[in-house]
Amino acid sequence: MAESMRDIKRRIRSIENTKKITKAMKMVAAANLRRAQDRVEAARPYSEQLRDVIVNLAAGTQGVDHPMLVSREVKKTGYLVITSDRGLAGGYNSNLLRHLMQTLKKRHKSTDEYVIFVIGRKGVDFLKRRNQPIIGQVTGLPEAPAFADVKAVASQAVNDYADEKFDELYLLYNEFVNPVTQRPTEKRLLPLASTELEETQKSNTIYEYEPSVEEVLEEILPRYAETLIFAALLEGKASEFAAKMMAMSNATDNATELIANNRLLYNRARQAAITQEIAEIVGGAAAL
């Protein structure tokens, strides 16, 4: 019985140490989440203003068929997937990657019909194990990524589309809804949807362009697509920290429950040991 009590006591100490770690990780994730939300909010005005400029440009270039604005026959599809580098984030990565694999299975008959760009080590490892055609990747991003951290893969994806290496590009990431909900989201990035651009055509802002509308459009459209990728990355980071915060909160709550249950077991074992000792003393006294 004494051995059993030592085991229970050792288990309680182990769970308490784990609880301290999960509680600290929850606090770190919560702090990172607040900063990530601020970055998402700060990035929105730039992308919205850039979209307003593009709408104005597109309206002034009637008859100019830019490859990023014109749909073409789809022979090959590109996917850009945003995951995390680390785990301990609940279903953050698994839900998104499951959605990706279901989409690939539903749309394509073979791996020759699509290519994949991946941001995040979890996505890279997952897709490599399944022999998926990864042609661009970025791993080891900091907690607060800058545009320069993903510029290479974003430019590669946009340039490959412009070079007609594939005919459409989809963006898959976790949309941040609130600290409890992160939604796997799929958006067509290229060609830029005319319906999306039409949503901002009510703007009355008048721009003057130099040297010409066509040349400015040629320069700004790739930058806009890259901005959308970076905005999705910021959303993904906020979702990642929210998922980590919830996962660590649940782990801490589970640890608290396990500690309570093990303390109950310990008290029962201790009570049984005391009862046995009393019985032995009483039995010994009766024998005398």
Whole-angstrom Cα distance, residue 105 to residue 110?
9
In CATH terms, are 2-26+247-287 and 32-243 the same topology? no
Q: Among residues of the chain, what percentage have pLDDT more than 70?
A: 89
Taking each continuous run of H as one helix and of E as one strand, the counts in the chain are: 6, 5
At the top level of CATH, the class of 2-26+247-287 is mainly alpha
Q: Which residues contact 100 (CB under 8 A, 6 or more apart)?
A: 79, 81, 172
Q: Where are the domains of the chain?
A: 2-26+247-287, 32-243
Mean predicted lDDT score pLDDT of the chain: 86
CA dist., res. 284 & res. 288, Å (int): 7
What is the CA angle 87-91-105, rounded to 5? Answer: 110
Q: How confident is the model at residue 206 (pLDDT cuts 50, 70, 90)?
A: low
Concatenated DSSP letters of 225-268: HHHHHHHHHHHHHHHHHHHHHHHHHHHHHHHHHHHHHHHHHHHH
Q: What is the pLDDT of residue 288?
A: 67
- What is the arithmetic mean of pLDDT over 205-229? 78
Higher pLDDT, 150 or 220: 150
**Whole-angstrom distance between the N-terminal and C-terminal Cα of the chain?**
27
Which uninterrupted H or E stretch holds 191? none
How many Å is the maximal CA-CA distance in the chain?
Answer: 113
What angle (nearest 5°) sits at the alpha carbon of residue 171, between those of residues 141 and 232?
50
Q: Tell me how crowded residue 215 is: count the other CB atoms within 10 A of its CB.
A: 11
Query: What is the CATH architecture of 32-243?
Result: 3-Layer(aba) Sandwich (3.40)
pLDDT digits (tens, 9 = 90+) for 114-135: 999 999 999 999 999 999 999 9
- Contact between 77 and 113 under an 8 Å Cβ cutoff? The reply is yes
Establish how many alpha carbons lie within 13 A of residue 266's alpha carbon, considering only the half-sphere containing its beta carbon.
Answer: 15
The pair of structure tokens assigned to 246 is 């919830």
Place of tokens 């594939």: 166
% pLDDT > 90, the chain: 56
* Average pLDDT of span 145-156: 92
Mean pLDDT within 22-42: 93
Give, for 50, the enclosing helix (H) or strand (E): helix 2-59
d(CA 15, CA 117): 40
